[in-house]
């Protein structure tokens, strides 16, 4: 793992714990954490040398989640949309492929949470923990040998 990537991982871990706990317990992602993640990750990703890719990844992820929330409001909460931009920035900095893999992995994790949820039919399972776990896993994985730099995770 590149040394400049370590602060990004530490900050992601720090944000992930209270956001996941709050979303699972209260079904909400507080603005104090979701909105403060933008300048934190922007600064850390700039120091890591991935600001351009992070900006594009964050914008794509945010726009996709905002569109889904607009078209089907019950499927994603506003907190998920606010969180998606900063997580998309991290995934964009990892690789372009990580953006699409992150979407699929987050959906699978959310479906797994729904499968083990006690009241599967009546309760809503939050998507924030799935987004956070998928981003953390993809950002933590070491670069894959043999893949081009644009496809390998941590292609900084």
Tell me how far apart the alpha carbons of residues 48 and 110 are, in angstroms, rounded to a whole number.
30
Among the residue ranges 32-36, 91-95, 139-143, 146-150, the one predicted with the least confidence is 146-150
Q: What is the predicted pLDDT for the residue at 148?
A: 40
Which range is least confidently modeled, 19-28, 94-103, 114-123, 139-148? 139-148
Q: For residue 112, give both structure tokens.
A: 């797994």
Reported as a single tens digit per residue, the pLDDT across 53-104 is 999 999 999 999 999 999 988 888 899 999 999 999 999 999 999 999 999 9
* Residue spans per domain, the chain: 3-140
DSSP 27: S
Residue 40: per-residue pLDDT: 96
Give the separation between CA 45 and CA 53, rounded to whole angstroms. 9
Q: 50: helix, coil or strand?
A: coil
């Amino acid at each position: 793992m590149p040394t400049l990537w370590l602060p990004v991982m530490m900050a992601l871990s720090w944000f992930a714990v209270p956001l996941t706990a709050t979303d699972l317990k209260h079904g909400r992602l507080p603005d104090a954490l979701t909105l403060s993640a933008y300048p934190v990750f922007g600064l850390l990703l700039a120091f890591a040398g991935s600001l351009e890719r992070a900006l594009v990844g964050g914008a794509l992820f945010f726009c996709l989640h905002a569109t889904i929330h607009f078209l089907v409001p019950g499927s994603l909460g506003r907190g998920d949309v606010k969180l998606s931009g900063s997580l998309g920035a991290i995934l964009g900095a990892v690789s372009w492929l990580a953006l699409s893999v992150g979407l699929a992995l987050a959906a699978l994790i959310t479906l797994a949470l729904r499968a083990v949820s006690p009241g599967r039919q009546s309760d809503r399972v939050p998507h924030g923990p799935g987004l956070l776990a998928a981003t953390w896993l993809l950002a933590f994985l070491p670069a894959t040998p043999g893949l081009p730099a644009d496809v390998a995770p941590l292609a900084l």
